Amino acid sequence: MKEGYIMITRKTRRIERIVLVEPRAPGYHIYSAFTVPRLGLPLMARILRGRGYTVDVFVQERAAVPMSALREADLVGVSATTSTAGEAYKIASFARGMGKPVVMGGPHVTFVPEEALCYCDIVVRGEGDETFPELVDALRDGADLNAIKGLSFYDNTGMVRTEDRPLVCDLDTLPPPDLNTIHFGKRMPIIPVQTSRGCPFHCTFCSVTEMFGHRYRTRSVENVLDELERYNGRRVFFVDDNFTAAPKRTFELLTRMKERGIRLKSWSAQTRVDIAKQPELMELMRETNCTRVYIGFESVNPKTLERFNKRQDVDDVRFAIETLHKHRVRVHGMFMLGADDDTPETIRETLRFANRMRIDTVQFLALTPLPGTKTAHELEMAGRIFTHDWRLYDGHHVVYKPMNMTPEQLQRGILWGMLQFYSWRQALKFAVRLDSLNAALRILGSGLVRKAARASGDFNTWLHSHQDQISDWARARGFKFDASQASERLVEYRRRIKDSALEKYETMRLKISTAYELKTRAAFVSLEGDIDRRRARLIKRRIKKLARSKSTVVLDFAQVQDITPEAGDYLARKLGRFKRSVRIKLIGATAEFRDKLLGAAKHVPAFEFFDSVDSLQRNLLMPTRI
């Protein structure tokens, strides 16, 4: 069995308190100001509470995960999408380092369970509504995990992958999610409600059908209405991947909602352009306070729409926007750029189209090869994916080589398009039309886009400087350092000898070496010698300076001979306070220093520990093939 993996044994465990975590996204985007929690974990919480367990759910975007919660937990569950996988793995590693059994689930680990098992004990694949509660009971009772469908784990024979669990056919058998279990920080402004799962379409870049199936499964109308009655007068977001995939059923749901006197303050949902061909449904949506729909238009390039298997054309997109606006429903349009038929002109044409059609809000996203999708398989087989740093798989970073432009052209083109759309000039145009909401959204979007641009500055610089070599680096093993930017600084100082009766001093040295790793864009800081409080402040300033341009800083303590208690306390306080966009990795830290760092942390901190360079490489380089 591979080093670093935990072997699952059959023994009873005390499991009473369970902590479930939804990790935060790695950067900023247009939704950063409007956090809507995913429903998988609060649904699990409802089921587990019904079985007598105490469950707490932490949505990291709104509430940090307290270290005390992890210490008190008997079991930790972490959900992971692809872009949150890095943060999810960090939380899982912390919890497992504290001796807690850790279970991971979600779309990302479903498709790469072997990778996830480097950081957790068990992976729940696919829908976990039945698998996870059954697993918790089995761990408590010491039952055989091989009998549970939908699991991946290690035993003394190696990696075990149990039979896939069928999808839940009758969604009415599931209780409504318990949103009260979420530590949200304040009153939830928008309530998420799910009425269906699955999608009858099969877009090549989308993992929904691989995760939830082609069959469109729905809750009964009465079942949904019973849940909606609790939220009368509130704002609701229907989180279905396609709320109107069955128009007759959607029409019935909204009609019955009116008849039962359920009056939502407003509601919004994800849908497709097909909705514009249902005039009666459109009218009913407006009558029931639908204020906004989110539609994946994807492209204004007909060839790209065909390649994506969208089963729509540009005329359908245009007609949908016009029809929705006639019914006073605002439109959030999502465009996927960088397909093999796209060019730099496609980006400019997409911006012109969005402004000409007066789409209320947009996202211009880079085509992203998510694990499990046809797009990922094709790009991987062609050797065009140059990084598996999952933090970059958020649609705002280019992670592959486009066909008709460079990665930098696509990256900068998307950023340019977003800055042009969310500009003060556009805000002024809406203000002149007395559309104060869209004017405000343009201003808010401008701030978020600029914030995201600053956070990804090191990535943009990296693409500009090294785009000709990145594909070769992706295929090579191990780290690759930039020798031209390596630097060293030797600091000498005098320290009084403690046990001497006379006032004697000794000369101390601290060498700080800095190197830049090209494949991961990380700054490696090697420390050699002795550290007192003053030198600790020097190290902190060095990290702070590096963090302005690097998203990852590695501190190597392997050659540190002594850290004074004052220096240890200082570093313990400061290392946990860096902004969320900076990852700090520590190698070679002594057990005593680790305990001091963790003891000073009130929440899961920005840093994490590694015992060897090999484990660090596995974490940073993510050698998974998708």
158-203 confidence digits (pLDDT tens): 999 999 999 999 999 999 999 999 998 778 899 999 999 999 999 9
Question: Is it the case that residue 557 has pLDDT exceeding 60?
Answer: yes
Arithmetic mean of pLDDT over the chain: 90
Query: In 10 A of CB 122, how many CB atoms?
Result: 27
pLDDT band per the 50, 70, 90 thresholds, residue 402:
very high
Question: Is it the case that residue 27 has pLDDT exceeding 90?
Answer: no
The set of residues, in sequence order, having a beta carbon less than 8 Å from that of 500 and lying 6+ positions away, is none
- Mean pLDDT for the stretch of residues 390-395: 92
Q: How far apart are CA 260 and CA 221, in angstroms?
A: 12
What are the residues facing 269 on neighbouring strands?
Answer: 238, 293
Question: Is it the case that residue 2 has pLDDT exceeding 50?
Answer: no
pLDDT band per the 50, 70, 90 thresholds, residue 153:
very high
- Mean pLDDT for the stretch of residues 511-539: 92
Question: Is it the case that residue 562 has pLDDT exceeding 80?
Answer: yes
pLDDT recorded at residue 438: 86
The set of residues, in sequence order, having a beta carbon less than 8 Å from that of 572 and lying 6+ positions away, is 596, 597, 599, 600, 601
The set of residues, in sequence order, having a beta carbon less than 8 Å from that of 87 and lying 6+ positions away, is 23, 24, 26, 60, 391
pLDDT recorded at residue 4: 43
Nearest residue to 40 via CA among 207, 211, 244: 211
Lowest mean pLDDT among 250-254, 536-540, 619-623: 619-623
- Mean pLDDT for the stretch of residues 297-314: 96
- Mean pLDDT for the stretch of residues 391-419: 94
- Mean pLDDT for the stretch of residues 271-300: 96
Question: Is it the case that residue 548 has pLDDT exceeding 50?
Answer: yes
What are the residues facing 559 on neighbouring strands?
Answer: 528
- According to DSSP, the β-strands at 552-563 and 583-587 are parallel
- Mean pLDDT for the stretch of residues 116-134: 96
3-class DSSP state for residue 451? helix
pLDDT digits (tens, 9 = 90+) for 213-243: 889 999 999 999 999 999 999 999 999 999 9
- Mean pLDDT for the stretch of residues 507-523: 89
Tokens representing residue 34 in the block: 């409007």
Q: What percent of the chain has pLDDT over 70?
A: 93
Q: How far is CA 449 from CA 262, 456, 551, in A?
A: 37, 11, 18
Question: Is it the case that residue 5 has pLDDT exceeding 60?
Answer: no
- The DSSP annotation for 77-135 comes to EEE--STTHHHHHHHHHHHHHTT--EEEESHHHHH-HHHHTTT-SEEE-S--TTHHHHH
The set of residues, in sequence order, having a beta carbon less than 8 Å from that of 10 and lying 6+ positions away, is 142, 143, 144, 145
pLDDT band per the 50, 70, 90 thresholds, residue 3:
very low
pLDDT digits (tens, 9 = 90+) for 47-91: 999 999 999 999 998 888 998 999 999 999 999 999 999 999 999
Question: Is it the case that residue 288 has pLDDT exceeding 60?
Answer: yes
Q: Are 537 and 570 in contact (CB under 8 A)?
A: yes
Between 503 and 177, the more confident residue is 177
Q: Are 178 and 211 in contact (CB under 8 A)?
A: no
- Mean pLDDT for the stretch of residues 496-509: 65
pLDDT recorded at residue 501: 54
pLDDT recorded at residue 553: 93
- Mean pLDDT for the stretch of residues 559-587: 84
Lowest mean pLDDT among 302-306, 384-388, 558-562, 622-626: 622-626
Question: In order of start, what are the domains of the chain with their CATH numbers?
Answer: 17-161 (3.40.50.280), 189-401 (3.20.20.70), 483-621 (3.30.750.24)
pLDDT band per the 50, 70, 90 thresholds, residue 502:
low
pLDDT recorded at residue 463: 87
